[in-house]
């Protein structure tokens, strides 16, 4: 099957735009491979420090005859998704020894959970934790002790941060190893029903607590298709996981054997073998476009509209929201996974999952088949699924979906487009996820009600002030203002208003991820209000139109009158919960469309000063 011409055109656009920065990136990792820090370049004292506690692996590390694998782990046992990683380092060391290699924990990274910090001050650290994770990864790998990297991470900012950090050591082969989703709990529709009842005051906190605890109840990733599981999909369509490994449950024989196979494979793609596959060459422009296609085909989290540009920039690649918008016009939506449907990721996996999805997208010419993956056999291997047969790990052709209410082929999609629109107008530039919103709600025209904190929205709702057609504007929520926290606490409230028959939409320079639900939302709007962006000039009662059909976000007023408006000034991230430690991040961050990263912005300034960009 020939490639879709729009896929080809967008890829060519990305390649052309990235030509200079990508060339400098590839030059960097080539220099690092040949002359950068590595075990052969370390002095005896350096090496002795590094293997002093290595036990039975000490002799192997000292002799430097085989790969030493650096493990970067995001383990903690407070977060269900990362709790299974506690046993992985010991297992990985055993698996490495089976093939004559060694492994050491190179470093650990923080792992924040947006679910735990939702609506709390700590959420203002969440997006910037991605930069911290990238830097933590770089610290671990800076010792130069490793010829390959095993990365253990799952959730929202963790996978993008791990990849951003590891790409600066892109001469090293790298495999990401997932831990898998928890078993399914109560249905997502029931969880959402109880949340709305609580928002309306019809059930008490104990009933809400029971529902939440029945949903999030065991080790493993949350099972709705939010940012964490979108990350896992992304790593597979980029060829950075072993085929079919994204959604295999934790604490199973299959999960363990996939980890063993990943470590064995990592030892085969090192710089001293005949199948060298450095991370920086695996993550090229085609892999980044594949990531965007996967996001659109699955109706994944809009947080990836920020993370994909950031991960790409770490590899010298520039992709923007116009690229996503163009791809969305031709990439059909092929899945219905909550919040876009009633089934969770376990149900998606059981009916064919990633292997069936990738196979159908390849057949339709909607994925680049020639990307360099971490597995032998190329990207076509990713249409196979892993199974245990006679106590052995094997991969078998997945075939088509076994349930077209959950997963379909491109010839029979749920939607003909990918459900993500670039929104532009006199109110700025943002993103709108149409895939979870009923088409009759794609255009909302109503008076604006302006807020600068999501709690104020909830208070106004409880006071009956929003029981009407309204476009709720929550501003001063961008990365430079307060770190761009998620605004999920608004979803039940706005859903209640919508269910009462009102025309309701949300506009914000903040974030709403893949769990944002059924309410129309124009999000990530920039320039943000803190920088004097258009949202800062809105006033209560201004007539605003949000139209996903035309891709427009506009205030309906005379242009001259609009331009004369004085921008409002709002609050910024304050003290407490460690937020003051992230002031330098807020001061240095760039726009969400470029990845909302302070460290990448600073890196680009350095490159520009040295004539490298």
| Same domain, residue pair 47 and 167 | yes
| Same domain, residue pair 538 and 589 | no
Annotated binding residue 222:
yes
Helix, strand and coil percent figures for the chain, each rounded to 5? 45, 15, 40
| Same domain, residue pair 554 and 429 | yes
150 has a pLDDT exceeding 60 = yes
| Same domain, residue pair 225 and 358 | yes
The reply to whether 197 falls in a domain is: no
Residue 585: domain span: 577-608
Q: What is the mean pLDDT of residues 7-18?
A: 98
| Same domain, residue pair 98 and 26 | yes
| Same domain, residue pair 376 and 232 | yes
High-pLDDT (> 70) share of the chain, %: 99
| Same domain, residue pair 435 and 552 | yes
The reply to whether 199 falls in a domain is: no
The reply to whether 451 falls in a domain is: yes
At residue 572, the pLDDT reads 74
The reply to whether 78 falls in a domain is: yes
Q: Distance between CA atoms of 285 and 214, rounded to whole angstroms?
A: 42
pLDDT band at residue 613 under the 50/70/90 scheme: low
189 has a pLDDT exceeding 90 = no
Q: Give the residues across from 543 on adjacent strands.
A: 447
| Secondary structure letter of residue 104 according to DSSP | E
The reply to whether 207 falls in a domain is: no
Annotated binding residue 547:
no
- What digits encode the pLDDT tens for the residues 361-398? 999 999 999 999 999 988 999 999 999 999 999 999 99
517 has a pLDDT exceeding 70 = no
The reply to whether 200 falls in a domain is: no
Structural domain count, the chain: 3
pLDDT band at residue 488 under the 50/70/90 scheme: confident
Report whether 55 contacts 134 (CB < 8 A). Answer: no
Domain CATH for 530: 3.50.30.80
The reply to whether 95 falls in a domain is: yes
- What digits encode the pLDDT tens for the residues 287-342? 999 999 999 999 999 999 999 999 999 999 999 999 999 999 999 999 999 888 88
Q: Distance between CA atoms of 551 and 556, rounded to whole angstroms?
A: 15
Picking from 395, 426, 447, the residue at the C-terminal end of a domain is 395
| Same domain, residue pair 277 and 382 | yes
- What digits encode the pLDDT tens for the residues 27-68? 999 999 999 989 989 999 999 999 999 999 999 999 998 999
Both tokens of 82, joined, read 């990362």
| Same domain, residue pair 361 and 224 | yes
The reply to whether 407 falls in a domain is: no
Report whether 18 contacts 304 (CB < 8 A). Answer: no
- What digits encode the pLDDT tens for the residues 444-454? 999 999 999 99
Sequence-ordered list of residues with C-beta below 8 angstroms from that of 28, at least 6 positions apart, any chain: 170
580 has a pLDDT exceeding 60 = yes
Q: How many CB atoms lie within 10 A of CB 288?
A: 27
At residue 187, the pLDDT reads 82
Q: How far is CA 406 from CA 232, 296, 530, in A?
A: 18, 15, 41
At residue 177, the pLDDT reads 98
Of 413, 476, 479, 474, residue with least CA distance to 449:
474
| Same domain, residue pair 224 and 338 | yes
Q: Distance between CA atoms of 45 and 192, rounded to whole angstroms?
A: 58
Q: What is the mean pLDDT of residues 586-610?
A: 93
514 has a pLDDT exceeding 60 = no
Picking from 334, 363, 395, the residue at the C-terminal end of a domain is 395
- Identify how many contiguous H helices and E strands the chain contains and give both numbers: 23, 14
| Same domain, residue pair 429 and 481 | yes
| Same domain, residue pair 275 and 363 | yes
- What digits encode the pLDDT tens for the residues 81-132? 999 999 999 999 999 999 999 999 999 999 999 888 888 899 999 999 999 9
């Amino acid at each position: 099957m020939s490639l879709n011409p729009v896929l080809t055109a967008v890829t060519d656009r990305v390649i052309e735009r990235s030509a200079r920065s990508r060339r400098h990136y590839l030059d960097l990792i080539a220099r690092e491979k040949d002359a950068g820090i590595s075990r052969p370049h370390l002095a005896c004292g350096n090496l002795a420090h590094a293997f002093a506690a290595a036990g039975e692996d000490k002799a192997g590390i000292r002799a430097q005859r085989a790969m030493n694998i650096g493990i970067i782990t995001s383990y903690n046992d407070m977060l269900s998704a990362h709790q299974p990683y506690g046993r992985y380092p010991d297992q990985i060391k055993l698996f490495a020894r089976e093939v004559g290699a060694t492994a050491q924990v190179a470093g650990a990274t923080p792992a924040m959970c947006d679910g735990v910090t939702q609506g709390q001050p700590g959420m203002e650290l969440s997006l910037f934790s991605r930069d911290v994770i990238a830097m933590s990864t770089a610290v671990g790998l800076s010792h130069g002790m490793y010829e390959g990297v095993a990365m253990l991470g799952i959730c929202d900012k963790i996978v993008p941060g791990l990849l951003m950090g590891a790409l600066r050591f892109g001469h090293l082969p790298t495999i990401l190893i997932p831990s898998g989703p928890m078993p399914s709990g109560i249905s997502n529709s029931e969880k959402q029903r109880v949340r709305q009842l609580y928002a309306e005051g019809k059930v008490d906190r104990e009933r809400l607590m029971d529902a939440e605890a029945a949903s999030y109840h065991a080790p493993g990733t949350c099972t709705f298709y939010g940012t964490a599981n979108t990350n896992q999909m992304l790593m597979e369509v980029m060829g950075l996981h072993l085929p079919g490994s994204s959604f295999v449950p934790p604490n199973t024989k299959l999960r363990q054997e996939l980890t063993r196979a990943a470590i064995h494979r990592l030892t085969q793609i090192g710089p001293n073998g005949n199948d060298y596959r450095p991370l920086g060459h695996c993550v090229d422009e085609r892999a980044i476009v594949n990531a965007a296609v996967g996001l659109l085909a699955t109706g994944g989290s809009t947080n990836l509209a920020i993370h994909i540009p950031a991960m790409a920039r770490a590899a010298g690649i520039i992709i923007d929201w116009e690229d996503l918008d163009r791809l969305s016009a031709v990439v059909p939506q092929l899945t219905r996974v909550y919040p876009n449907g009633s089934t969770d990721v376990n149900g998606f996996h059981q009916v064919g999952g990633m292997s069936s999805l990738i196979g159908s997208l390849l057949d339709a010419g909607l994925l680049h088949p020639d990307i360099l993956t971490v597995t032998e056999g190329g990207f076509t291997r990713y249409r196979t699924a892993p199974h245990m047969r006679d106590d052995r790990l094997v991969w078998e052709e997945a075939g088509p979906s076994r349930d077209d209410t959950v997963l379909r082929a491109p010839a029979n999609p749920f939607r003909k487009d990918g459900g993500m629109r670039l929104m532009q107008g006199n109110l700025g530039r943002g993103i709108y996820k149409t895939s979870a919103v009923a088409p009759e709600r794609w255009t909302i025209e109503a008076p604006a009600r302006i807020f600068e904190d999501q709690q104020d929205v909830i208070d106004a709702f409880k006071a009956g002030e929003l029981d009407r057609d309204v476009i709720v504007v929550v501003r001063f929520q961008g990365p430079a203002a307060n770190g761009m926290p998620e605004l999920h606490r608004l979803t039940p409230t706005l859903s209640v208003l919508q269910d009462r028959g009102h025309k309701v939409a949300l506009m914000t320079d903040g974030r709403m991820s893949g769990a944002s639900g059924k309410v129309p939302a124009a999000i990530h709007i920039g320039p943000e209000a803190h920088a004097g962006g258009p949202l800062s000039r809105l006033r209560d009662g201004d007539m605003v139109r949000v139209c996903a059909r035309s891709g427009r976000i506009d205030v309906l007023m005379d242009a001259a009158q609009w331009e004369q408006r004085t921008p409002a000034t709002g609050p910024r991230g304050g003290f407490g919960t460690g937020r003051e430690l992230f002031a330098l991040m807020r001061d240095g961050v760039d726009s969400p469309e470029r990845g909302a990263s302070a460290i990448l912005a600073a890196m680009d300034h350095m490159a520009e000063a040295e004539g490298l960009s």
